[in-house]
Structure 1
């Protein structure tokens, strides 16, 4: 059964609706911030596997829209990076980045070492490393597409989605308990009743803002493609999605101010979220569970070990570097959220602690800024350097 672009888009919409109903009806899915495309996509993958086992039916989808949607998401990440606001983080932001960047490389070292020990291709270690755990579903899908094209790794897209999903769950599970453990020797800075969200209220998205943002995103895709073409012959080639991210940063901080075009954060978030949701739903529709059985066991072992490593690093490094106080404990909970899952998981972890003990304004500024922009940029650079090593080209 083969679907064209329109049929694939309709299937993606159905997957998103299914995910919405599943998340509303199954409490753990919402509690651990499992994205609706993943919930619905896993349900579809199970149905597709049952149909394949029963009748041999395989659903083939069109890949025409997947690439542009993924690039649009990363362009929106760049458009969200207001450098004036990033400077507000100050020294604590630099300290947090000093913890995060080495962790990215170590996470890939751990993943690669375990993959080799389990007799898997080293790239499986990257999939079970910062590609999906820090990078999340979007980055995981981007690199899975590259690995499929360059190394002919069958089923790697499904593995990437599975690893990112399990990482989301683990990131939400371990953050709160670790923060509670760290807080045993520290009094809360404010009573629980005073706990408030320290994230500034954003203006609501409007039709005009969404139209302007869509135009900017499309321009970023063109600019990113042009930049990628200029550097195509470079010794180390950056992936096309990274160029689109850079284009977004350039447009937000240089081009838009010069032409006096306001950029709405709410609209950027809306357009980027829609692009990622549709892309993930289309990607999940390509997963063939019957092809993943051979690699599922080793991947689960790698991700489990990564969770243990993240907790050890968070307690021994992040908590100490950030000051060994209440704010540091909250930031550590956030670190565990996006070191295994996503920025949304990080914020959820921190809110759980703040709702009990009180506000942590520095943590709520530093962690979201790092997770929203710096983490994707740093991860892409680390992975680009890693993939230039001979071990991953075998």
Structure 2
């Protein structure tokens, strides 16, 4: 028995799923320790409930896809609208080098995924869903590419596989980052910080606040422009800035809709969400470069995070977990191999190319975080190292900038190229 839910009920259920996830993350230490997003925590519980209703009573649910698609496009537009290439100057050469490194790893991650999927008798496209789509891309990218793989390439269960792989990546990225960095730091001979026993509590608190400010670049001009890695931070926005920001989103989405139609059937045909991201990038940088427009990043951040949360909640309650039954074994093998590849790349490549010093060890921890999971995981990995061994201003400047938006631009480009390869 199929139950159809219109847009109103789909939105209501998505908000309830999000609130359930918020409650679970606050109450379950494992979820908070590994930075599991609130809509993912609640959505997975909802997906299990839907699975049980289907298995025992034969019920299935059809949710309105148009609303889910709209929130997805707004999320990717927000990434583009946040991608200020002028900030590249703040990171300098190390930021450029790290971005190239991350790009190379995305290609490697997809190559490993496709090779392993073919070896295990799966569709090569399944390798992309267990590659950068879900691991570097996270739940948002998984939710965007999943329906495309299902409709255009006939890959059954791609969305469900993507969400499961992305959840695995969050946990794995949080588990491997700190051990990799600690081994590198120990190899460098750096000792943990020592706090004098006679230091007062006030002095300790002052030191901790000073360390936090250094790590998070609080004194920098870009303070307050933390995109996506701290979704619960309070951002003060006004009615006029809200309307201005919605106009920017509308322009990005209109650009995406027009370009999707123009490019259809041509060699530069791209998924609509990629055009939304690209439109945001163009609008942002044209307005700031040629018209000196003051972009209201806080409002963009709020809309982006809210859209992502609702999109993920809707995507997860739409999962059909029964489609994963036959894939569980091979998928776990691929993800285990991807984890080993991430460890080796961070240890032998990221660390060495970024300088073979303390900063590069912290960067390796961050790369493990968003190379397997997401930017919050990367930040948590780095904090676990800097809290013990000292601040790394360089790492905390570079990783959030690359992990928050530059990596998504690169990932979308690489994935588009992979889907066009003849053996796919």
Q: Aligned ranges for residues 94-113 of structure 1 at < 5 Å?
A: 94-113=96-115
Q: Which residue of 1 aligns with 2:149?
A: 147
The SS at the match of 1:59 is: strand
Q: In terms of mean alpha carbon deviation, does 111-120 or 258-267 score higher?
A: 258-267
2:403 counterpart of 1:385: no
Q: Which residue of 1 aligns with 2:11?
A: 9
Shift of 1:190: 7.1
Shift of 1:262: 2.5
Answer yes or no: is the 8 Å Cα contact 2:125–2:155 preserved in 1: no
Runs of 5+ unmatched residues, structure 1: none
The SS at the match of 2:121 is: coil
Aligned residues between the structures: 392
Q: Tell me the TM-score normalised to structure 1 length.
A: 0.95
- Aligned counterpart in structure 2 of residue 367 of structure 1, from 399, 406, 410: 399
The SS at the match of 2:217 is: coil
Q: Which residue of 2 aligns with 1:202?
A: 224
**1:85-113 CA deviation, whole Å, 9 max, x = no partner?**
12211110122122111111111111111
Could you say if the C-alpha distance between residues 170 and 89 of structure 1 is closer, same or farther in structure 2, counting changes exceeding 3 Å? same
- Aligned counterpart in structure 2 of residue 128 of structure 1, from 127, 130, 149: 130
Answer yes or no: is the 8 Å Cα contact 2:192–2:388 preserved in 1: no
Distance 2:154 2:66 in 1: 20
Shift of 1:259: 5.3
Distance 2:78 2:417 in 1: 24
Distance 2:291 2:324 in 1: 50
2:260 counterpart of 1:244: no
Distance 1:191 1:358 in 2: 10
Shift of 1:257: 5.9
Q: Tell me the TM-score normalised to structure 2 length.
A: 0.89
- RMSD between aligned alpha carbons? 1.7
Shift of 1:222: 0.4
Q: In terms of mean alpha carbon deviation, does 24-33 or 201-210 score higher?
A: 201-210
Answer yes or no: is the 8 Å Cα contact 2:339–2:372 preserved in 1: yes
Shift of 1:369: 1.1
2:232 counterpart of 1:230: no
Shift of 1:30: 0.9
2:325 counterpart of 1:273: no
Distance 2:310 2:60 in 1: 21
Shift of 1:252: 1.5
Q: In terms of mean alpha carbon deviation, does 365-374 or 327-336 score higher?
A: 365-374
The SS at the match of 2:65 is: coil
- Aligned counterpart in structure 1 of residue 336 of structure 2, from 295, 301, 304: 304
Distance 1:113 1:377 in 2: 24
Q: In terms of mean alpha carbon deviation, does 260-269 or 312-321 score higher?
A: 260-269
Q: In terms of mean alpha carbon deviation, does 91-100 or 223-232 score higher?
A: 223-232
Q: Aligned ranges for residues 1-394 of structure 1 at < 5 Å?
A: 1-186=3-188, 187=190, 193=207, 195-196=211-212, 197-200=215-218, 201-202=223-224, 204-208=235-239, 209-255=241-287, 261-392=293-424
**1:94-148 CA deviation, whole Å, 9 max, x = no partner?**
2212211111111111111111111111111100000110011111111111101
Shift of 1:179: 0.6
Shift of 1:188: 5.7
Runs of 5+ unmatched residues, structure 2: 196-206, 226-234
Distance 2:21 2:138 in 1: 18
